[in-house]
Each structure stands twice: as structure tokens, then as C-alpha cells.
Amino acid sequence: MNLRHAMICATAAGLCVCAEPSQAQNKVAVHGSVQADILFPEKDHSIGAVEDYDSPILFNTYADVTLASKYVDAGLRFEFMKWPLPGYDPDFAGWGFPNIYVKGKLKGVEITAGNFYEQFGAGFILRTYEDRALGIDNSILGGRIKVNAIKGLSITALGGIQRVFWDWNRHNQVYGANVEGYFQDWFQGLRDRDVSLTAGLSWVMKHEQEENVTLAGTDYRLHLPKEVNAVDARIGFNKGGWNLQAEYAWKGQDPSFDNDYTYNHGQAVMLTGSYSRKGLSATLQAKRSQNMSYRTQRMRDGLPAFINYMPAFTYQHTYALPAIYPYATQYGPGEWAFNGSFGYTFPRKSPLGGKYGTSLTVNLSYISGLVHEGDPRNPINGSVMGTDGYKSPFWKMGHTNYWDFNLMLEKRLSRPVTMQFMYMNQRYNKKAIENEGGNIYNNILVLDTKWKINRKFVLRGEVQYMFSHQDKDEREFMAEHPERDQKDWFYGLVEFSWTPYLMFSASDMINVGGTGNNYYMFGLTGTYRSNRLMLSYGRTREGFDCSGGMCRYVPATKGFKISYSYNF
Amino acid sequence: MTVIKKFIYAAAVMTGLAASLTSCDIASDDRFILEDEVVPQRNVLLMDFTGQGCINCPNAHDVMSELSKQYNTDGNTNLITVSIHAGAQAMSVDRTDFSANRIGLMIAEGQEMNDAFSINAWPTGAVDYINGKDNALLYAEWPAAVRTAFEKPTDISIEATATLNDNQIEVSTNVHSTSDQDIALQVWVIENGIKASQRLPDGSFDTEYTHNHVLRFVQYPVKSGQPMQLKAGVIGTDECSIPLKWTDKERWNRDNLQIVVFAFRGSDILNCTIANPGPATQPE
């Protein structure tokens, strides 16, 4: 029996002996959840859903249980995705107990053994997390100690092996330490002025066994560093509605597939300022990152094996058409990113607010690539591998990767009726983001209306239209691929709810400017206590499922889908 | 010591450590390690899943070209390279329109192999593996994988001859094994020197790009091949006849064709060879 099996048995035994579904302070509380997403795929050549799957039913299933008490917590998660939903990495398929932990807590000291998630600062050098929609779970299997016993100081130290799908390679190790200082805990003057001042310092090191990376056409291989260090420093200020943050990260030599096996250092810097009070909010952010792809496996691309996370600086759209062209953060090449948002509520009974008040939100995101100068070539085979890579002057910005301006109005028209209107102007550099095509320019209109018929019934409708035009490169690409959806889109949705128990929805997304494909979807959702069941049937277009700047390609699908979740 | 002093002390220590981290850097003259020259124990098959709309695919073509120059010397073809057009960035042969100078290079069998590897990003390759989900490689991995493959012993040897008769390619294969075993055989037609469009790394289109070693035809079923039972010391033979294609969708240049024959079991390719029905040789 190996260590993982022993931990599973110990945790399960602890749950059986101690568990009571009760929240009494001295007793042990048991919480958990079950989530299953099931697809019965059908072929549909008109939308490109032609893949042959290994099983007639595809599903991702998660079941986890957590035991919490005053001194000890423990948790266990079971996953079954032997035949996963479409679009996940081939290594995603598998099943087992990938997450097990035991945590002891006493007097401000917390010790965890097993799998854990952690983030230092904004995540520039360490962020481990789970995102089921993207298929990301880069938890660390090892040990962590957190000390909050000292007033105004928080210290964390950790070490272990990163999970990469169903692989825990003992040669892919991560170690780290973090110190956070809370100055308001030390200085009465800060507390008197309601000022919060924090500073943090972090270090992370990855250890990776040396791989054989041979230069094509030669008998030379690269001398790769086994350890790659990264450090991060940050400071934060908060008073009343004002919030200011600055963060800087540096990474040592880390030759990898992401940076063409070059030996330059990585850097990231971010400034954030925001102000909020009742009825008004404003945020301004700027970030520059270069060569900040930090993975436990250097010979990887796509989503797996990241140790760190570069925050997305674009608005996360939930409406269907604005989400067709999402931006994916460029870890390896680097980027300049700016984001600003402003929100204001016109008061009730004011000229612009009307009888019930009106909310206005404006958001602007701009992302550009960096300028690469020089022509680095190694003396062995003339490629860029083994060199210090291109120089990127700090203040120079390259081509536009993405631009997004959106304006949203939310207004109550009458007591039962509310309306949301959105206008969005978008520029999407498909060549920089997807390695194909050219630039796409979109203007999108969205109208979302909700009518609360009575206390039980709600009717909601959405209408969206995308006016799209393209540059010469993208028009050439579209001409080469007339079978792919392109140009203008229309979307309509009707949703009827019997709250809180049932909701019926019907929607259609039509590629009016290109193929004429329509992606219809019918859904029925039922909620009862902690259970939620959704049944749906229809077509889903190929595209990218994105969250926080991380994106997963999803192929076109058609079929019947069941989604179930239960929390206890 | 007060808490503030402790914090300042801890911060100073970590800052000093951070500053010292650059001393771990590998100097520019210490980044390349010379390995022993590889002596091929066998032939190796390198497959590149590629596409005409794939921006980074020309980089992979360059890697294949460098590897061919390195290992195919003195008239020997130890490394056989094949470009298999497949996936979302490839153009199907069905979209070919010679009057519009549009030539697609993706055949159905290429897409079938791409799906068997579960490849969803291009370029991706495989070295001496067929239809295996776990064996897809990024192009930076190909040089090391080819070195390793050359050193792997095999008990299978293959010889093939190809003859052009009228509009047929007659392929004759002899397979020799030092042990009793069941294998499967596969025969491919590849073509060099095809002028067709290709997206380049700078985003531009080269409409006269030269595509080499493009997979044009698969003789036997992709996953099962042609079964063959081998006895130790007894030569197994296979004969097949492949018609030349000259249609409104596919037109082969008979002078630029080559025949690739390989033996495999499961996902492992046991050995391979290449034969020229006409004057063609594997270009670099």
C-alpha cells in the first residue's frame, strides 16, 4: 500500500467515525458535493460535429466530501472522466482520488498534508487552483505550514509535487515561501485613520529533472537548469473607498517550449487603483508581463502544468455573442494590458435615473503584444534556442492583440420589468491569439428584458446582434475556410421560470453572415433543496471556453446533455 | 525583537536571496553539451501532423529538413519523414480547385490518424508510433526522440521495391524476422515538390510553398494494416498495386512519388523503409 492509498483509507475512516451532519461547534461537520455533466453526442456534419468518441456517453463526474472540526479538517475527492466531455486534453481522461488532504489547526498555526491549493499575491509566481470547465487542477501534493500566530504577520511555507492530470511526477517539484505584513496591526495611527497598509514578499522554486532537448540537425543538447526560482513583491493601500496596489515579479532562466528554449529572465509588473462609494465605482489597471510562462514541465503547451497565473485584464462577458471572441493571456510572448471601468447609478427620480434609478457601467480593455528586437541565433545550428532571446524595450508596445469597449445600462422600466442594454465594440487579433487569420472588428448590441409576472413566474428574453467586419488577412482565411462560421451573428433567448423550482429556456444562435448554421438549444432546469438538475438538447458551436484569460478549445457538438449537482 | 524588526529582517533576507538568484544563471558559453554521434540501428519514421493554414508548421518543416540532412547521408535514408495534413488548419483534397490554383492536401486517412492520436494542436508529431494517444510530440521534442529511436534495437528488417507500370505502382515487400511474431504491414504513397499555399510564421500566405513528403494514399486500413504472421528466418512477402491518381481533386506527379512501407504491432512501429518508383529521392 503506498502513501496515497494509506491517506485515502485514513481519511475515509476518519469520516466514518467522526462525521455527523451537524454544525454544532464542538462536533464535526461534514460537507460535500456531487457534480456530473453528461453528454450523449450525435454526429452533425453541417456544424462539424463529426468526431468518433470511444463511448456513446461522455461524462465528467466529481464527488467530494470535507470533514471540518475545531482542530482537524480532512477532505477527499473522487473523479471519474474515463470518457470525458469533448475538448479536454487527451491526458485529462482517467479516474481516481486525485485530491486528499488532512489539515491540523491550533493557535494560529495550520499544517496541511496532502493536496492543497495556494496563491501568492495576484498569482504571478504561484497560483494553484481548480477550474472544472477548463479541466485545470494543478494542486500541489505535499506539505504546507501557515503561521498566523504573530500579530500583523502571516507566513506560509510549502513544498510538494504538482498534479498534471493523472501524473504526479516526483521530478516536478515546487517549493515556496510567503510573508505578508499588515502594518495597520502594528500602528495605531493607521487604524485611527481607517487605513490598511499591507506588504508581501514571496519566493517559489521549481525543480525539474533535466530533459534531453537536442538542437535539430546536430548532436548538441541544451544544458537546462534543474531549478528555476521566482520572486514576487507587492504593496497594497486601502482607505475608505480608495484602493491602490502594486506588484512586481521576476523569474530566473527557464528555457521551455513556450519561449523557444531561450535563457532570458521573466518579469511582470502590475498597478491597480480603484475607488468606490455608494452609487459610484472606478478602476484603472495596467500590467506588463514578459516571458512569465512558469510550468513544472517545460515541454508542454496549452493549459497544463502551470505553476503561476497571469490575471486577465479583459471583461468576462456572460452574454453569448460578446463571448464568441474571448482573449487568452499570452504567457510566453508577453503583453501590455490596460483595463479601466466606471460604474455609476443615477438616483431614483433624477432626470437620467427615472422613477426607479438607472445603472451605467463602462469598461475598456486594451492588450498589445511586446516589441521584439534583435536576431538572436546560436552558434550551433543558427536557431534561437540557447540564446537570450529577443530584446523587448520596456515602454514599447507592439501590435494590438485585443480591444474591448462596452457600455451597459440597467434600468427598471416598471415595478415588474427590468431591462439591460449593452453596446460593445471589439477588435480581436486572431493571428496573435489563435495563430490563424487576421483581425476581426465587431459591434455588438444586446437587449435583455425581464418581466416578473408575479411572485412565482418570471419571463426573460434576450436579443443580440453582432455586426462583424474583417481585415484582408482574415478575409483570405475565411475564403479558404467557407465551412467555418464567420462574419455576422444573431442570438435570441426566451426563458420562463417557476421560481425556485423550474426553468425552461429556448435559444438559437445563427451565423447569418456566413454558413447560416443555427445553434439551437432547449433546456429544462429543476431545483429542489440542494439538488439541481438540468436537461438540455441542442447544438453547441466550436469555440473557446475561457475563464480568467485561460482558454480551452471546444469542438462543435450536438446531443442530449444532463447536468446534475448536489451540495450537502 | 519587535514584529516590525522581524518583518524587516525577513524581508532583507529574502531580498538578498532574491538578488543572489541571478548567480544561478547558465552562462551563454555553457548552454550546449555535445553528445556522442548516433549510429542508427534501424530506420525511423517521423510523422508530422501539419496544415496549410497552420502558422507554426513551417518551423516544424524546418526541423524535419534539418533532421533529414543529419541522418540521410551517403545515399542512405535512415530517417523517413512524412507530412500528414490533418485537423482544423488543414485543407481537404475535396476543396481542390485547379482552375483557382487552390490545392488541398488533407486525405481522410490522415484525419483518421490525427484523431487516433487525439491531436488538437498543430504541428504535432510522432516518432516510430502509430495511432497512439500517449505518443504525440511537440516539434522541439523530435530531435531527441529520433536519436533515441535510432538506438532502439529491432528484430524486423524490411525491403521494398516499387515499379511504375502504366498507371499503377507495383509494390513488393519482403519482411524478415529473427523470431516468430504477428505484425501488421502498411504501405503509404508520399509525394514531394507539391506547390500549394502555406501560411507562414509572419502571417502571410505563400501560394507557391513547396510541400514535401506529403501523405497521398494509404493502402491498408489505418488502424489494423495488413496482418502478417512471421516465422523466424522465413521471409514474409506482400504485393500490392496502387493506381496513380489524376482527377479533378488529386493529381500526382509520378516523378515525385515515393513509397513508405512499415511494420507495426499495436502502436509501435518496428521498422520502416522507403522505395522510389520513379526518379524521386527524399528531399531535404
CA A385 to chain centroid, in Å, comes to 30
CA A230 to chain centroid, in Å, comes to 22
- Which residues of chain B neighbour A261 with C-beta distances below 8 Å? 140
Please enumerate in sequence order all residues whose Cβ is within 8 A of that of A79, keeping only pairs 6 or more positions apart, or say none: A60, A61, A62, A63, A94, A95, A96, A97, A98, A99
Kindly report the backbone phi and psi dihedral angles of residue A259, in degrees, each rounded to the nearest multiple of 5, phi listed first. -115, 25
CA B70 – CA B44 distance, rounded (Å): 13
Instruction: Report the pLDDT value the prediction gives residue A13, as an integer from 0 to 100.
Output: 47
* A100 and A145 inside one domain: no
* A202 and A114 inside one domain: yes
Q: How confident is the model at residue B284 (pLDDT cuts 50, 70, 90)?
A: low
Per residue in A133-187, pLDDT (tens digit) is 989 999 999 999 999 988 899 999 999 999 999 988 888 899 999 999 999 999 9
Cα distances from A554 to residues A97, A406, A547, A551, in angstroms, run 26, 26, 13, 9
- Which residues of chain B neighbour A438 with C-beta distances below 8 Å? 203
**Interface contact A213-B144, CB threshold 8 A:** yes
Instruction: Report the pLDDT value the prediction gives residue A463, as an integer from 0 to 100.
Output: 98
**Interface contact B55-A436, CB threshold 8 A:** yes
CA A369 – CA A439 distance, rounded (Å): 14
Residue in the structure block whose three cell numbers are 496549410: B52
**Residue A335, all three cell numbers:** 503583453
- Which residues of chain A neighbour B134 with C-beta distances below 8 Å? 90
Kindly tell me if the per-residue pLDDT of B211 is higher than 80: yes
Please enumerate in sequence order all residues whose Cβ is within 8 A of that of B73, keeping only pairs 6 or more positions apart, or say none: none
- The reply to whether A377 falls in a domain is no
CA A204 – CA A567 distance, rounded (Å): 35
- Sign for the pseudo-dihedral over CA of A82, A84, A89, A90: positive
Nearest CA in chain B to A254: B25
Q: Are A208 and A298 in contact (CB under 8 A)?
A: yes
Annotate B121-176 with DSSP letters as a single string. Answer: SSSEEEESB-S-GGG-B-GGGHHHHHHHHHTS--SEEEEEEEEEETTEEEEEEEEE
Kindly tell me if the per-residue pLDDT of B16 is higher than 80: no
Provide the residue type at A207 as one letter.
H
- Which residues of chain B neighbour A481 with C-beta distances below 8 Å? 53
Give the pairing type, strands A136-137 and B236-243: unpaired
Closest CA to B177 of B233, B239, B238: B233
- The reply to whether A286 falls in a domain is no
**Residue A187, all three cell numbers:** 500602528
Which residues sit opposite B260 in a β-bridge? B188, B274
Annotate chain B with DSSP letters as a single string. Answer: --HHHHHHHHHHHHHHHHHHGGGGPPPGGGSEEEPPPP--SS-EEEEEEE-TT-TTHHHHHHHHHHHHHHH--TT---EEEEEEE-STTS-BGGG-BGGGTB---B-HHHHHHHHHTT--SSSEEEESB-S-GGG-B-GGGHHHHHHHHHTS--SEEEEEEEEEETTEEEEEEEEEESS-EEEEEEEEEEE--EEEEEE-TTS-EEEEEEE-SEEEEE-S-TTT-EEEEE-TT--EEEEEEEE--BSSS-B--GGGEEEEEEEEETTEEEEEEEE-SSS-----
CA A515 – CA B37 distance, rounded (Å): 54
**Interface contact B24-A435, CB threshold 8 A:** no
CA B93 to chain centroid, in Å, comes to 20
> Chain A closest CA to B174's CA: distance in Å?
31
Kindly tell me if the per-residue pLDDT of A304 is higher than 50: yes
Kindly tell me if the per-residue pLDDT of A376 is higher than 70: yes
- The reply to whether A19 falls in a domain is yes
Residue in the structure block whose three cell numbers are 470518457: A83
**Residue A16: helix, strand or coil by DSSP?**
helix
> Chain B closest CA to A234's CA: distance in Å?
12
* A98 and A111 inside one domain: no
- The reply to whether A244 falls in a domain is yes
Higher pLDDT, residue B133 or A33: A33
* A204 and A185 inside one domain: yes
**Residue A190, all three cell numbers:** 493607521
CA A535 – CA A419 distance, rounded (Å): 27
CB pairs under 8 A between A and B: 142
Higher pLDDT, residue A328 or A110: A110
Q: Are A443 and A427 in contact (CB under 8 A)?
A: no
- Which residues of chain B neighbour A386 with C-beta distances below 8 Å? 28, 31-32
Instruction: Report the pLDDT value the prediction gives residue A321, as an integer from 0 to 100.
Output: 95
CA B47 – CA B40 distance, rounded (Å): 18
Burial track B28-39 (b if 16+ CB lie within 10 A, e otherwise): eeebbeeeeebe
Please enumerate in sequence order all residues whose Cβ is within 8 A of that of B68, keeping only pairs 6 or more positions apart, or say none: B79, B81, B282, B283, B284
Which residues sit opposite A8 in a β-bridge? none
B133 closest CB neighbour out of A90, A151, A250: A90
A299 closest CB neighbour out of B7, B138, B199: B138
**Residue B154, all three cell numbers:** 529491432
* A251 and A232 inside one domain: yes
**Residue A390: helix, strand or coil by DSSP?**
coil
- The reply to whether A214 falls in a domain is yes
**Interface contact A431-B203, CB threshold 8 A:** yes
**Interface contact A481-B7, CB threshold 8 A:** no
Question: Which of B3, B24, B30, B31 should one mutate to test binding to chain A, selecting the residue with the greatest count of A CBs within 10 A?
Answer: B31
Q: How many domains does chain A have?
A: 2
CA A223 – CA B33 distance, rounded (Å): 6
Annotate A189-224 with DSSP letters as a single string. Answer: HHHHTTEEEEEEEEEEEEEEPPP--BPTTSSEEE--
Q: How confident is the model at residue A516 (pLDDT cuts 50, 70, 90)?
A: very high
Cα distances from A197 to residues A38, A210, B1, B4, B140, in angstroms, run 48, 42, 21, 13, 46
* A158 and A80 inside one domain: no
* A187 and A137 inside one domain: yes
Q: pTM for the full model?
A: 0.89
- Sign for the pseudo-dihedral over CA of A452, A453, A455, A458: negative
Instruction: Report the pLDDT value the prediction gives residue B11, as an integer from 0 to 100.
Output: 65
Instruction: Report the pLDDT value the prediction gives residue B14, as an integer from 0 to 100.
Output: 62
Cα distances from A416 to residues A261, A449, A458, A460, in angstroms, run 60, 11, 9, 11
Average pLDDT over residues A63-89: 95
**Interface contact A216-B66, CB threshold 8 A:** yes
Last residue of a domain, one of A229, A256, A283: A256
* A35 and A140 inside one domain: no
CA dihedral A317, A318, A319, A322 (to 10 degrees): 20
Instruction: Report the pLDDT value the prediction gives residue A434, as an integer from 0 to 100.
Output: 84
CA A99 – CA B32 distance, rounded (Å): 40
* A63 and A129 inside one domain: no
CA dihedral A249, A250, A254, A257 (to 10 degrees): 40
Average pLDDT over residues B87-106: 91
Please enumerate in sequence order all residues whose Cβ is within 8 A of that of A152, keeping only pairs 6 or more positions apart, or say none: A181, A182, A183, A184, A185, A186, B3, B7
Per residue in A251-301, pLDDT (tens digit) is 999 999 999 999 999 999 999 999 999 999 999 999 999 999 999 999 988
Closest CA to A345 of A278, A406, A407: A278
Instruction: Report the pLDDT value the prediction gives residue B281, as an integer from 0 to 100.
Output: 55
Least confident range from A390-399, A422-431, A547-556: namely: A547-556
CA A119 to chain centroid, in Å, comes to 14
Kindly tell me if the per-residue pLDDT of B219 is higher than 90: yes
**Domain B36-275, CATH class in plain words:** mainly beta
**Interface contact A477-B53, CB threshold 8 A:** yes
> Chain A closest CA to B272's CA: distance in Å?
21
Q: Are B136 and B125 in contact (CB under 8 A)?
A: yes
Q: Are B192 and B258 in contact (CB under 8 A)?
A: yes
**Interface contact B32-A227, CB threshold 8 A:** no
**Interface contact A381-B66, CB threshold 8 A:** yes
Instruction: Report the pLDDT value the prediction gives residue A24, as an integer from 0 to 100.
Output: 45
Give the pairing type, strands B79-85 and B44-50: parallel
Least confident range from A465-479, A526-540, B15-29, B55-69: namely: B15-29
Q: How confident is the model at residue B19 (pLDDT cuts 50, 70, 90)?
A: low
Which residues sit opposite A404 in a β-bridge? A365, A426
Per residue in B33-88, pLDDT (tens digit) is 999 999 888 999 999 999 998 888 999 999 999 999 999 988 888 999 999 999 88
CA B73 – CA B149 distance, rounded (Å): 18
Please enumerate in sequence order all residues whose Cβ is within 8 A of that of B151, keeping only pairs 6 or more positions apart, or say none: B38, B39, B41
What is chain A's mean pLDDT, rounded?
A: 91
Q: Are B172 and B185 in contact (CB under 8 A)?
A: no
- Residue A25's domain comprises 1-40+53-86+94-104
Kindly tell me if the per-residue pLDDT of A521 is higher than 70: yes
Q: For residue A454, count CB atoms less than 10 angstroms from its CB and return exposed for 0-12, middle for 13-18, buried for 19 or more.
A: exposed
**Interface contact B21-A229, CB threshold 8 A:** yes
B91 closest CB neighbour out of A431, A473, A480: A480
CA A267 – CA A88 distance, rounded (Å): 30
Last residue of a domain, one of A218, A234, A256: A256
* A194 and A231 inside one domain: yes
- Which residues of chain B neighbour A252 with C-beta distances below 8 Å? 21-22, 24-25
B32 closest CB neighbour out of A179, A217, A386: A386
* A207 and A188 inside one domain: yes
Spans of all domains in chain B = 36-275
